[in-house]
Amino acid sequence: MSLDFTILFDNRSTSHLAHGGPLDEILVLEIRNGRHIFISLVGNIVPTCFGLPLAVLAAYGGRGVRNVAGTPEEHGGGMPDELWRMTDFIMTYGHNCGSLFLERGDEGLCREIRECLDCAKEWPGELVGEGEIGVLSMAETVIRFLDALPEGIVLGNVYEKVMRIVDTKGSVMQVPPFFFWRVGWC
C-alpha cells in the first residue's frame, strides 16, 4: 500500500527547518483496537524563506533561498526582496480590493506564490489574471510570511519604549501589537 503524507510544521518549528535538510523519522500508526505500525519517513525538507530572519533574507539579495548554498556569512540590510515583491504586488493590484487582509485567498495560489519566493521566480501569469483572488492570495501569503518570522519586525524592547511614550503622551494613531512582535492568523 502506498501512502502520501503532507507534513505541516508550526511556526515554532519553521525557523529551525527553513534552511532545509534531511528528514529521517519514524511515524507510529496506531490502529484502533489493533496493532501499531511503524512507518519510516525519509526525505528532504525543502529550504524556504518562511521562518528565516529578515536580515538573513536581505543578505541573500533576492536570489531565492533555494538558489544559494548554506547561510550567508554576513547579514544584509534593508528590506528583503521577498517582502518587497509581495508588498509591490499588493500596492500595484490591490487598490480596488475592499476585503484585503480580511478574506482568505486561494490555497493553490498561495503555494505558487511561496514557490516563486523561494526560487526567485517571476509571478505566474494567472496570479494577475485572477483579479481579486490573486490579490487576496498574496495578502494571505504576506500574513503567513510575517507570522513565520522568528522575531518581530520591531523588537520587543523598542515596542516597550513606544508603549511608554503612548502612555505618557497619548497618540492619535493606534499601532497594532502584531506589528511589533508577531502576527496572529486565525
Q: Where are the domains of the chain?
A: 11-148, 152-186
- pLDDT for position 113: 95
DSSP string, 88-128: HHHHHH-TT-TTTTTS---HHHHHHHHHHHHHTPPPPHHHH
Give the pLDDT means over successive 10-residue stretches in the chain (186 positions): 71 74 84 86 85 88 84 69 94 87 90 94 82 90 90 73 69 48 39
Separation CA 15–CA 24 (nearest Å): 18
Task: Please check whether residue 123 is in contact with residue 91, taking contact to mean a CB–CB distance below 8 angstroms.
Answer: no
